[in-house]
Copies of this chain bind each other. A is one copy, B any other.
Amino acid sequence: MTYCVGMMLDQGLVFMSDTRTNAGLDNISTFRKMHIWEDSGERVITLLSAGNLATTQSVISLLDERSKAPECRSPTVLAAESMFQVAQIIAGTLQEVIQQRTEVGQSSEKSFDATMILGGQIRGGTTRLFLIYPEGNFIEAGADTPFFQIGEIKYGRPILVRAYHPTLDFSAALKLMLVSFDSTLRANLTVGPPFDYHCYEADTFTRGPCGRVESDDPRFLTISEGWSDALKRALEELPSF
Contact of A227 among B154, B162, B222, B228 (CB under 8 A): B162
Interface contact B226-A179, CB-CB below 8 Å: no
Q: Which residues of A (175-223) have their CB < 8 Å from a CB of B? A: 175-176, 178-179, 183, 186-187, 219, 222-223
A238 partner residues in chain B, CB cutoff 8 A: 175, 179, 222-223, 226-227, 230
Interface contact A172-B235, CB-CB below 8 Å: yes
How many of chain A's residues have a CB under 8 angstroms from any CB in B? 38
Interface contact A234-B241, CB-CB below 8 Å: no
Q: How far is the CB of A187 from chain B (nearest CB, A)?
A: 6
A73 beta carbon closer than 8 Å to chain B: no
Q: How far is the CB of A146 from chain B (nearest CB, A)?
A: 16
Interface contact B219-A241, CB-CB below 8 Å: yes
Interface contact B187-A235, CB-CB below 8 Å: no
Contact of A178 among B178, B223, B241 (CB under 8 A): B241
Contact of A222 among B154, B158, B239 (CB under 8 A): B239
A32 beta carbon closer than 8 Å to chain B: no
A161 beta carbon closer than 8 Å to chain B: yes
Interface contact A239-B226, CB-CB below 8 Å: yes
Interface contact A171-B223, CB-CB below 8 Å: no
A235 partner residues in chain B, CB cutoff 8 A: 159, 163, 172, 175-176, 179, 230
A69 beta carbon closer than 8 Å to chain B: no
Contact of A157 among B187, B219, B233 (CB under 8 A): B187
A174 beta carbon closer than 8 Å to chain B: yes
Interface contact B187-A240, CB-CB below 8 Å: no
A144 beta carbon closer than 8 Å to chain B: no
**Bound CA–CA A158/B160 (angstroms):** 12
A161 partner residues in chain B, CB cutoff 8 A: 183, 186-187
Contact of A155 among B154, B226, B231, B240 (CB under 8 A): B154
A232 beta carbon closer than 8 Å to chain B: yes
Q: Which residues of A (139-171) have their CB < 8 Å from a CB of B? A: 154-159, 161-163, 165, 171
Contact of A231 among B163, B240, B241 (CB under 8 A): B163
Interface contact B172-A186, CB-CB below 8 Å: no
Interface contact B241-A174, CB-CB below 8 Å: yes
A163 partner residues in chain B, CB cutoff 8 A: 228, 231-232, 235
